[in-house]
Amino acid sequence: MDRMLVVVFDTEKKAYEGKKALLQLDGEGSIVVYAYAVVAKDADGNVTLRQSDDPGPLGSLVGTSLGSLIGLLGGPAGLAIGAAVGLVAGSTVDLRNAQVSGDFVDDVSKQLRPNRFAIVAEIQEDWTTPVDTGMEAIGGIVFRRALSDVKDMVDDEDTAAMQADIAQLKAEHAQARTDRKAKLQEKINQLDSRIQARLEKAKEQRQAAEQRAKAKVEILKTKAAALKAKAAQAGDVVTD
């Protein structure tokens, strides 16, 4: 299952120990780390990036959810960080892009207090024990949430309402006096522009989701091949 993982630590040293342990689990094949970042919250509550890495073949596309979550945790500063390291795709950072719920962000924010550090990662794991055991041994507080399906940005009901308004305006336009037609046409054009903008955003979001899915498949293939080669070198019998 693909999940967003956040582990909060009280020192920077422990955060890097946690990162090392997380990547070790990835190397062993216990989990898959798609992308990660080590962040810190200073005394003023600003979130800063300490280290990040995106091992995916398509780079920042895989890290979109990760960058969006950093933006949500860090406010304006976090948004700037996410954009700077290429983790944010597009100009909007919200729960939809992060693929997590508001309560998850709130729970993490309560623990990621000033002068604390965290690993933020997008991972795949079949069971939670390996990560929990490793992180808790270092003193980390673990938060995880399954990534939600990416949904179109179009609100069908709202769009339908705007289309109904356009139909009504067109009916009025057909019967209006000449001096009124221009104003009605302007309103029709405005509503139509809003609908087209929504549809375009939905299209972009679908395309980004498809690209992220393809990138993750490539990561899984690469890691599977690496594990197979490692097992073969160790003299194990590996079958397809």
Extents of the domains making up the chain = 2-149, 150-240
Which residues on neighbouring strands pair with residue 35, listed in sequence order? 122
Exposed, middle or buried by CB within 10 Å (0-12, 13-18, 19+), for 185?
Answer: middle
Q: How many CA atoms lie within 13 A of 36 on its CB side?
A: 22
Instruction: Quickly state the pLDDT bin for 62 (edges 50, 70, 90).
Output: very low
Say if residues 9 and 139 touch (Cβ distance below 8 Å): yes
More confident residue, 74 or 11: 11
Q: What is the pLDDT of residue 82?
A: 45
How does DSSP assign 38-65, residue by residue?
EEEE-TTS-EEEEEEE--STTGGGTTHH
Q: What is the pLDDT of residue 132?
A: 92
Structure tokens at 110: 């309560």
Query: What angle (nearest 5°) sits at the alpha carbon of residue 188, between those of residues 187 and 191?
Result: 85
Q: What is the pLDDT of residue 135?
A: 94
Q: What is the pLDDT of residue 128?
A: 87
Q: What is the pLDDT of residue 86?
A: 44
| Terminal alpha carbon distance of the chain | 23
pLDDT tens, 101-149? 777 888 888 899 999 999 999 888 888 889 999 999 999 999 988 876 5
CA gyration radius for the chain?
23
pLDDT tens, 153-185? 445 656 777 788 888 889 988 988 888 888 889
Mean of per-residue pLDDT scores for the chain:
77
